[in-house]
Amino acid sequence: EPEVTQTPSHQVTQMGQEVILRCVPISNHLYFYWYRQILGQKVEFLVSFYNNEISEKSEIFDDQFSVERPDGSNFTLKIRSTKLEDSAMYFCASSHPRRDEQFFGPGTRLTVL
């Protein structure tokens, strides 16, 4: 069964450094999403992406964040200058245009020191 994959599974970085989290959505999906889950808290929406542009973003998704679909398969989330409070699990998801369920990847645990 097709699935969403994410790399790396765990990323450790120093405060102020840039990180790029990578995702490969399911191949026939057209909508892509990033969510984050701070330890012990709820899963929060960050951004949705369709047709090579952001379609919706939350207030969390400030100028430090950006997303990109650099080729036909990858979908990336970049954090330009990481802060301690960016430490979280980041989930990528994708969905088919005619169905409303989203399929989530296994997540990347980001630790900012």
Partner 1 sequence: GDSVTQMEGPVTLSEEAFLTINCTYTATGYPSLFWYVQYPGEGLQLLLKATKADDKGSNKGFEATYRKETTSFHLEKGSVQVSDSAVYFCALVNSGGYQKVTFGTGTKLQVIP
> Sign (positive/negative) of CA torsion 92, 31, 54, 43?
negative
Interaction between residue 106 and partner 1 (CB under 8 A): yes
For the residues of 11-41, what is the DSSP string, one character each?
EEE-TT--EEEEEE--TT--EEEEEEE-TTS
Token couple for 95: 């969905």
For the beta carbon of residue 2, count every other beta carbon within 10 angstroms.
Answer: 11
Nearest CB to partner 1, comparing residues 27 and 41: 41
Interaction between residue 95 and partner 1 (CB under 8 A): yes
> Sign (positive/negative) of CA torsion 49, 52, 55, 59?
positive
- Tell me the per-residue interface mask from 52 to 81 with partner 1, x by CB under 8 A, - otherwise: ---xx-------------------------
Number of residues forming the site for partner 1 (CB under 8 A): 23
Q: Looking at residues 12 to 51 of the shown chain, list those that interact with partner 1 (rule: CB under 8 A).
A: 31, 33, 35, 41-45, 48, 50
Instruction: Pick one of 29, 105, 110, 112: the residue that binds partner 1 (CB under 8 A).
Output: 105
- Contacts with partner 1 by CB under 8 A lie at 31, 33, 35, 41-45, 48, 50, 55-56, 91, 93, 95, 100-107
